[in-house]
Amino acid sequence: MSEVTTVSAPDADEFTLLHRVQAPEGEGREILDAATREVIGRAPVRTITDLDEAVTRAKAAQPAWEERGHEERSALLLKAADAIDAHAEELARLLSREQGKPLNGPNARFEVGGCAAWLRASATTPLQPEVVVDDGETHAELHYRAVGVVGAIGPWNWPLMITIWQIGPALRMGNTVVVKPSENTPLSVLALLSVLNEVLPADVLTGVPGDGAVGARLASHPDVGKVMFTGSTATGRKIVEGSAGNFARLTLELGGNDAGIVLPGADPRAIAQDLFWGAFINTGQTCAALKRLYVHDSIYEDVVSALRDVAAEMPMGNGLDEKNVLGPLQNQQQFDIVSRLVEEARANGGRIVTGGAPAPELGELFYPVTLVADVTDGVAIVDEEQFGPVLPIVRYTDVEDAITSANRLDVGLGASVWGDRDEARKVAFRLQAGTVWINSHGGVHPMAPFGGVKGSGYGLEFGVEGLKSVAVPLVING
């Protein structure tokens, strides 16, 4: 970790987007720069009444949007992706300030670019009717049509990308969408929606920033046919309860505590860079990041050493500095969780290999990359999702024990296995996770379905399955 202090000047267009979406002077709620803790702007604060009105408008706009058909909707979404590209730098800069992630590395510019790419994938992925019976007597086809109004409730860690994951397929399938952004990162999401609405018809896509009560109303609203939520397992349970009254369909991408298993015979130096980014992308604030690493005793110290060396080369600091690739924790609550888990690990005999204490010289919410060796299952830093720049490294001697450890928690978003590909695939089929990566961790593709098991939620996103998830099936028989 190193401190860099030269920060580029704000982009004028960033302020143009901010002016579009922020509350009038004297109104709304202050939003702070994650790195400097200075006020960026003021987010509008909407009420349940505002939410109800937005849903009413979305419901009224939905039939005409669906009647445009796939071809016209796809063409408009492609234009919307072009609009993201045209505003890419100002979106990235606002995102960097509000969320904290640096412009460079797999961070803010990467996220904005991914928004455009994923929107294009949603627009162009074919979804043809399926002939399910054709036996000479019966001909049956499976079609998919719009649900109606989709409620999209997003997180603060990848606020733009995950919003696109929710709204892109929903719009493509003929739904209208009401978005409730995280209270921590509303401005960047509202800016993204403003850019998209340069192209889309009125009331097809609406953002309603507000508190948890607004999100709860969206999940339980009688005119919302589908709810998509990315966030904590605890909040996911509340959304399930809230949706019982309207039987809304759900896609829930919830908390994770992804395990990685390094097999004996793996090359520590060859895998260290990918291990590092699997764990520390977005400074560890990623649902499907590597959060507990099981390493065979024969190469344990070599893996620890290789990760330490990679960590030492990664500059952390203000995200607007072009040299940095790691930023602060986004909010005080998450900073406190990380601090507590590291201190508990230290008290339980964990070996702090690097990091291990806040970095106030960088700013209020900076916590350096922290590797904690010589910890075991049952310690909080292993059993709880850190969601920050911390990785516990657990020693094992029998692969069977590592598999048992990986599966022991009530989460299952992702997992990874590192080593010989054939041996890794054998282990992968035994892990309880929605996705298992081989010799990598956390990479997603717009055509590869993604979702969790156990306490990590249910439902699939991306590709053809993602389109189906925001639609209702219709069987034409005859």
CA distance 323 to 326: 10
**Span 26-46, pLDDT tens digits:** 899 999 999 999 999 999 999
8 pLDDT higher than 70:
no
356 pLDDT higher than 50:
yes
Which amino acid belongs to residue 235?
A: T
pLDDT at res. 303: 98
Q: Is 12-254+456-477 a domain of CATH 3.30.450.20?
A: no
Judged by average pLDDT, the poorest of 1-5, 249-253, 318-322 is 1-5
12 pLDDT higher than 80:
no
- Residue % of the chain over a pLDDT of 70: 97
Mean local confidence (pLDDT), 117-122 = 98
**Span 385-422, pLDDT tens digits:** 999 999 999 999 999 999 999 999 999 999 999 999 99
Please give the mean pLDDT across all residues of the chain. 96
Q: At 5, is the pLDDT very low, low, confident or very high (cuts 50, 70, 90)? A: very low
CA distance 236 to 181: 15
**Span 178-213, pLDDT tens digits:** 999 999 999 999 999 999 999 999 999 999 999 999
Mean local confidence (pLDDT), 331-344 = 98
Q: Quick check: do 12-254+456-477 and 258-445 share a fold?
A: no
- The counts of H helices and E strands in the chain are 16, 20
**What amino acid positions are annotated as catalytic residues?**
253, 287
The CATH code that applies to domain 258-445 is 3.40.309.10
β-pairing, 29-32 vs 39-43, is: antiparallel
Contacts of 67 (CB under 8 A, 6+ apart): none
448 pLDDT higher than 70:
yes
Q: Where are the domains of the chain?
A: 12-254+456-477, 258-445
pLDDT at res. 15: 75
Dihedral in degrees, nearest 10, Cα atoms 163, 164, 167, 168: -170
CA distance 79 to 299: 51
pLDDT at res. 2: 37
Beta-carbon-side half-sphere exposure of residue 171 (alpha carbons within 13 Å): 37
